[in-house]
Amino acid sequence: MNALRSRTYRHQDLVTIEHRLDVPLDHHAPDGEQLEVFARELVKVDKADDNQPRLLFLQGGPGGKSPRPGSDAWVERALRDYRVVLLDQRGTGLSTHANRQTLARRGGPEEQAEYLQHFRADAIVHDSEALRKALGGDTPWTLLGQSYGGFCILTYLSFAPAGVKEAFVTGGLPSLQGTADVVYETTYDHMVEKNEAYFALHPDDRELCARIVRHLTENDVRLPTGERFSPRRFQTAGHGLGMRGVFDGLHYVLEEAFLPGSAGDELSDTFLHAVGSGLSFAEGPLYAVLHESIYQHGAASRWAAERVYTERKEFHLDDERPFLFTGEVIYPFFFDEDPALVPLRETANLLAHKEDWPALYDVEQLARNEVPVFAAVYYNDLYVPRELSLETAKAVKRVTPWITNEYEHDGIRVSDVLDKLFKLAKQTP
């Protein structure tokens, strides 16, 4: 394995150290193909010589790059106590990238799927361990995982617990049951509740949404990226309703939907740009390609969200039912419509039908876990259901859950959630 390559510079009150490290594509074949992972390490200028412990932040996703300095308020709180390491997970950001452009160089769908099977939480944990050892030798570090980052933490505690001193999880205690179906059967119920809350606050938007669906059904409407805007793609605009920062923002997008055109009312450029940007996977295609695989142990997902959608008649788009948005789900039709995903259609289908996914968690190891874990469980979480999170909290030793209805899934970004978790850790023997 190549040596760590680092560059240090100062910006305002921060010292930033950019790290690059080569790691195996397949950690079970360490002499094979290599990838590069990138991480930024941040420390306050006045603490640069204090030998603070390191905290690794594991980003939500899958397929999400780390936050950039200055973009999230929680970083400022963490920097009081830690040197913060922001890892671009493999395939994202400045790590070896994976999207329609780079994957095309690998060959056809079979070669791309073979490559991408190495981009789940188990590989991210091995990358993190390689980085930890390159930075600090045998010194364990603290983990902070937001959403999917919490999934990665349980994988970490399953297979590399010696590398972890303590862990904090925000909205990310996953189900240990090993299928996407279990998750979607719950999240569709929660999405009905979110729709009720949204339309209670913005009652005129329900008929407006039904009007948009009729217009999209009857007209060939194009998004700024060129593809036809389908009714079902519009329905997925509710995927952000579990974020406090998005809930009302959707209403302000909808209120500018229609303008009078030469042939009657038409959808405005303002609306199409806003909704199209929100629905595109150009910035994070791995989120769509790998999404269902993050739940799977062994069996194939076979497009679980689409199967559950077919069964949930209340979400179907017709004049007999009130309009409902759908939530955080990936449907196969995305790969027919989104230009960022169309070239990856067959690749995604192969991954959706992969039958031999390795286990992401060692349930027996988690049951005897000795690493203290402090987890914010959001009572109204749309994406990681509290019911499943609390089952996991009981199954994993030394997990201390903090259950709250004060925040939504993005609580870490808009609140003092991290400070409360740190205080909980200090109060817990």
Residues with catalytic roles? 147, 356, 409
Closest CA to 285 of 92, 45, 44, 81: 92
Amino acid (one-letter) located at 99:
N
Give the DSSP per-residue string, 280-327. --TT-HHHHHHTGGGG-SBS--SSHHHHHHHH-GGGS-STTS------
Q: What is the rounded distance in angstroms from the CA atom of residue 39 to the CA atom of residue 363?
A: 30
What is the length of the chain?
429
Q: What is the rounded distance in angstroms from the CA atom of residue 418 to the CA atom of residue 174?
A: 19
Q: Give the phi and the psi of residue 56 in degrees, each rounded to 5.
A: -95, 125
Token duo for residue 258: 């229609």
Token duo for residue 196: 């009720």
Q: What is the rounded distance in angstroms from the CA atom of residue 221 to the CA atom of residue 230?
A: 8
Q: How far are the Cα atoms of 12, 14, 68, 87, 89 from residue 43, in angstroms, in the given order?
A: 11, 6, 14, 15, 20
**Residue 292, number of CB atoms within 10 A of its CB:** 26
Determine the Cα angle at 271 with ends 265 and 332, to 5°: 105
Is the preceding omega at residue 62 within 30 degrees of 0, hence cis?
yes
